[in-house]
């Protein structure tokens, strides 16, 4: 490792005083990635926990990787299935194939690279401008953004959405730790409203580009389960397939089981808030049960159908799981108080499913629900904090009397 250290040592003068000064944050970021620095505690406690922001972020990435790899296979699988290239008799066994992986990887890895370059570019610029080190938050955002996109999203759109999210979603508020909205979802929302034809409808979730001599299978629609529910009130996908993840959707959102695995890892490591995840589950179940109860009074049969689906359908189809585990738990944009997290999480689940079912313009409601609750989180916190202050005042009054 000595020679790597030597490279950093040799190049340091150029970025600290030389003409490459603007590159100092990049140099520092790369160096501290290779070597956790030997800084010692100067004031306060003399011993410190081994955890730092880098470890926190890499832990989230560890949790994301299974769903990401699955998404790579699934993109290829959905493509090859649409083209009728799979032997349907073997179905499952044709999922984890080299062809599927290669197809997905060639699509998705460029998306990831573009996101990181665009986002970290902005981050490094602001680190230089405001003279601080590059914060690691974007390590996760940079992976989340492509995972929430449809497979055919053009790279330049991803780049622009990412830059918008980091700039307007984060840096204008003062950078990492200060943002109100979840940066990854800000990017997605930007893409959703700026390029709706690439982000919604039935045609974007499966790559159905035809090569010479290829043709789509008979009866191919490309619709997602939620799209089907919204139009017909039922779906052709099974809940089991959705739980495993072999359905069309955004790249990372489909496999409930692997997201669940990531969620368990985040809870076990203490990095993700179980309170938010659990209360989002409660919120989703609550609204589903309410829907089940009122379904018969709906007029249209589609609505009746959609409202009467069992609650676990809502958990496996669409992005409830992905959003709950990876988006809602972003500590900066979530409620900061522990009590607040219960309310915040509950309403994410509750509103997410509600928008999904009732608003035909947005077949998936989780993105809007989380962004809305991001905005509401400070208000929730305000009341929790007021409660704490009131308890203190009450004690004071008691002691005076």
Partner 1 sequence: MSKKYTIRKGLNLPLFGDPIKELKASKFVSNYAIRPSEFIGLKPKLAVKVGDEVKAGQTILFDKKNERIKIPSPISGEISAIQRGPKRRLDQIVIRANEKCEYLNFGDKTALKKDEIKNKLLESGAWTLLKMRPYGCLANPDDSPKAIFINGMGSDPFASKPGFSLKGKEELFSRGLEVLKQLSDRTILSIAQDEKSDTLTNANDIEIHRFHGPHPSGNTSVHISRVSPLNKGEVIWTIAAQDVAIIGKLFESGELHLDRTIAAGGAGMKNPQYYLVRGGQSMKTFFSKETKEGNYRYISGSVLSGEDIGKEGYLGFLAKQVSVIPEGENTDFLGWVLPGFNKYSFSKAYFSWLFPNRKYNLTTKLHGEERAFVVTGQYDKVFPFDILPNQLLKSIWAEDIEKMEELGIYEIIPEDFALCEVICTSKQPLQEMVRKGLDILYNEMN
Return residues touching partner 1 (CB under 8 A): 1, 4-5, 32-56, 58-59, 133, 135-137, 175-178, 268-271, 273, 331-332, 334, 336-338, 341, 381, 384-385, 388-389, 391-393, 395-396, 399
**What whole-number distance in Å separates Cα of residue 233 and Cα of residue 6?**
64
Burial (Cβ within 10 Å: 0-12, 13-18, ≥19) of residue 314? buried
**What whole-number distance in Å separates Cα of residue 247 and Cα of residue 73?**
11
Least Å distance, CB 251 to partner 1, is 24
Query: Could you give the C-alpha distances from 296 to 235, 302, 308, 353, in angstroms and in order?
Result: 19, 11, 8, 18
Least Å distance, CB 77 to partner 1, is 30
Least Å distance, CB 266 to partner 1, is 10
For every residue of 260-307, DSSP letters joined together read HHHHHHHHHHT-S-HHHHHHHHHHHHHHHHHHHHHGGG-SSHHHHHHH
The contacts of residue 364 (CB under 8 Å, 6+ apart) are 226, 318, 319, 356
Residue with Cβ nearer partner 1 (61 or 157): 61
Least Å distance, CB 142 to partner 1, is 16
Least Å distance, CB 78 to partner 1, is 32
Q: By C-alpha distance, which of 275, 342, 283, 349 is closest to 319?
A: 349
Residue with Cβ nearer partner 1 (50 or 299): 50
Residue with Cβ nearer partner 1 (65 or 294): 65
Least Å distance, CB 335 to partner 1, is 8
For every residue of 51-77, DSSP letters joined together read --HHHHHHHHHHHHHHHHHHHHHHHHH
Residue with Cβ nearer partner 1 (175 or 201): 175
Whether 226 contacts 205, CB under 8 Å: no
Residue with Cβ nearer partner 1 (8 or 220): 8
Alpha-carbon dihedral sign for residues 21, 27, 28, 29: positive
Residue with Cβ nearer partner 1 (53 or 290): 53
Residue with Cβ nearer partner 1 (56 or 231): 56
Alpha-carbon dihedral sign for residues 265, 62, 108, 373: positive
Alpha-carbon dihedral sign for residues 163, 169, 171, 177: negative
Q: What is the 3-state secondary structure (H, E, C) of 334-362?
A: CCCCHHHHHHHHHHHHHHHHHHHHHCCCC
DSSP conformational letter for 329: T
Least Å distance, CB 171 to partner 1, is 12
Least Å distance, CB 293 to partner 1, is 35
Residue with Cβ nearer partner 1 (40 or 87): 40
Least Å distance, CB 1 to partner 1, is 5
Residue with Cβ nearer partner 1 (137 or 146): 137
Helix (H) or strand (E) holding 153: none
DSSP conformational letter for 325: I
């Amino acid at each position: 490792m000595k020679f790597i250290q030597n490279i950093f040592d040799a190049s340091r003068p150029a970025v600290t005083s030389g003409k490459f000064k603007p590159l100092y944050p990049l140099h520092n970021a790369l160096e501290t990635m290779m070597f956790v620095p030997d800084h010692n505690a100067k004031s306060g406690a003399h011993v410190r926990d081994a955890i730092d922001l880098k470890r926190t972020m890499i832990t989230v990435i560890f949790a994301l990787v299974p769903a990401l790899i699955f998404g790579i296979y699934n993109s290829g699988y959905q493509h090859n299935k649409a083209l009728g290239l799979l032997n349907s008799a073997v179905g499952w066994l044709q999922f984890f194939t080299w062809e599927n992986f290669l197809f997905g990887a060639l699509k998705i890895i460029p998306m990831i690279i573009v996101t990181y370059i665009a986002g970290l570019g902005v981050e490094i610029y602001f680190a230089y401008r405001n003279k601080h080190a590059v914060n690691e938050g974007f390590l996760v955002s940079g992976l989340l953004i492509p995972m929430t996109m449809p497979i055919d999203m053009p790279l330049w759109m991803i780049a622009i959405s990412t830059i918008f999210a980091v700039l307007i979603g984060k840096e204008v508020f003062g950078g990492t730790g200060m943002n109100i909205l979840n940066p990854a979802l800000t990017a997605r929302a930007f893409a959703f409203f700026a390029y709706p034809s690439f982000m919604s409808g039935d045609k974007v979730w499966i790559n159905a580009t035809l090569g010479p001599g290829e043709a789509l299978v008979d009866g191919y629609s490309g619709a997602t389960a939620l799209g089907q529910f919204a139009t017909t009130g039922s779906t052709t996908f099974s809940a089991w397939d959705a739980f495993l993840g072999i359905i069309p959707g955004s790249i990372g959102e489909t496999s409930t089981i692997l997201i669940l695995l990531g969620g368990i890892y985040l809870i076990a490591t203490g990095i993700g808030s179980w309170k938010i995840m659990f209360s989002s589950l409660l919120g989703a179940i609550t609204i589903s049960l309410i829907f089940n109860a009122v379904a018969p009074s709906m007029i249209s049969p589609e609505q009746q159908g959609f409202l009467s689906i069992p609650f676990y359908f809502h958990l496996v189809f669409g992005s409830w799981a992905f959003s709950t585990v990876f988006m809602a738990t972003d500590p900066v944009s979530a409620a900061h108080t522990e009590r607040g997290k219960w309310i915040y999480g509950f309403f994410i689940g509750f509103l997410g499913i509600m928008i999904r079912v009732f608003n035909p313009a947005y077949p998936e409601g989780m993105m809007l629900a989380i962004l809305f609750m991001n905005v509401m989180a400070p208000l929730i916190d305000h009341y929790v904090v007021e409660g704490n202050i009131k308890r203190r005042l009450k004690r004071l009054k008691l002691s005076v009397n």
